[in-house]
Amino acid sequence: MKNNFLPEKFISAHDLCFFIHDLLVNTLVSGENQDIFDYEFSLDEKITNNLENDEDILLFLHENKFYKHRDKVLKTIILPALLSDTLHCIYEALNSSKKAKLNITYMLIRKPIQESLYLLESMLISETEFGKSIANNPLELRPSITMKKTGIKGHEERINIVLDKLELTSLFSFSYLANLRYNKRCEDNFDGICNHAMHLFTEHDAIKTDKFNINFIFSDDNSKLTQWAYLYSRLPYILLYIYYIVEYLMEEICPTEKWYIEEMELRIFAHFILWFEDLDEVYYSDELLKIIEFSRNKLNTFCINNLKKPFDKLIIENIANNGISDYKDNK
């Protein structure tokens, strides 16, 4: 393939990331096609008579203290726009990675995993507080505000609330997600490498530019291999977290068929198993191993129930690429 410089050992990871990306794209497009982002409500006729045809509906609702409707309208407007922007960044980041433009990849991935995801989390934590912040002071919705007020602990607490609502506290680590995204001082984090990709010189003591150096512009082949390895060892974990958040938010607007969610999850888990086979042991972590254990258990249960045997490599590849139709209820 033209402009594809991605080493073979990272292809399964790249495919996993793109699979989750494509699922989210399908969710967004399907929602738009079904008009699920159109929020309809009724108001007293006396009130609507005061509404001019060209008046800003959000401003009208805010000024007349219809906060519940204001928050619903905000959510249905912002969610698809934010998700679209997030997916554009992820798409271009992954394509840049394939072209060995790792500085562009890390520049592009910073916004979705820090700022966009923070906004999605805010919607999930409290629709009311989210609406209030957007209406009164949008700057409150910057992740840097949490960092200034309560440090990494504040991010951990927010993510823990999210995981509790998702009922995924046993699958994900709130501490790991917070440190991956925001903690420059943590050895295992995106923030430092994304800052190096964004800025020629960095002064924070945890990521300070070395003498006789300029950040990221002297990357040789070995450096690129390390950059690829880190990207593809950690990004799938965050993308899976994003996937569950988006599914939760979409479910609140328009429930998805249960069978579809179950099949897509099995396909994601199959991709995770294939990804893990190519993952260098130096990048193993307890958090990633927990995802793999969960994935294997889910797929084993499915295969035993439908095939009366555990999964093998061929089955996993087929489920990842084609779904479960060949195996569902196969006696």
* pLDDT (0 to 100) of residue 43: 73
- To the nearest whole percent, how much of the chain has pLDDT over 90? 82
- Mind listing the pLDDT tens digit for each residue in 277-290? 999 999 999 999 99
- Mind listing the pLDDT tens digit for each residue in 207-256? 999 998 999 999 899 999 999 999 999 999 999 999 999 999 999 898 88
User: Which range is least confidently modeled, 31-35, 58-62, 282-286?
Assistant: 58-62
35 or 126, higher pLDDT: 126
Q: For residue 75, which of 21, 23, 119, 139 has the smallest C-alpha distance?
A: 119
User: Which range is least confidently modeled, 121-130, 135-144, 158-167, 204-213?
Assistant: 204-213
Answer yes or no: is pLDDT of 52 > 70.
no
Answer yes or no: is pLDDT of 50 > 80.
no
Asked if 179 and 186 count as a contact pair (C-beta separation under 8 A), the reply is: yes
- Mind listing the pLDDT tens digit for each residue in 158-204? 999 999 999 999 999 999 999 999 999 999 999 999 999 999 999 99
Say how far apart CA 314 and CA 299 lie, in whole Å. 13
Answer yes or no: is pLDDT of 324 > 90.
yes
Asked if 89 and 116 count as a contact pair (C-beta separation under 8 A), the reply is: yes
- To the nearest whole percent, how much of the chain has pLDDT over 70? 95
Residue written as token pair 């159109």 = 38
- Give the C-alpha distances (Å, rounded to integers) separating 74 from 128, 131, 255: 10, 7, 19
Which phi and psi (to 5°) does residue 6 adopt? -70, 120
Asked if 307 and 331 count as a contact pair (C-beta separation under 8 A), the reply is: no
Say how far apart CA 56 and CA 135 lie, in whole Å. 13
* pLDDT (0 to 100) of residue 331: 44
When the pLDDT of each residue in the chain is averaged and rounded to a whole number, the result is 93
Chain CA centroid to CA 137, Å = 25
* pLDDT (0 to 100) of residue 199: 94
* pLDDT (0 to 100) of residue 51: 65
Asked if 231 and 194 count as a contact pair (C-beta separation under 8 A), the reply is: no
**Residue 67 CB neighbour total at 10 angstroms:** 14
- Mind listing the pLDDT tens digit for each residue in 18-27? 999 999 999 9
pTM over 0.75: yes
Token digits for 9? 């050992």
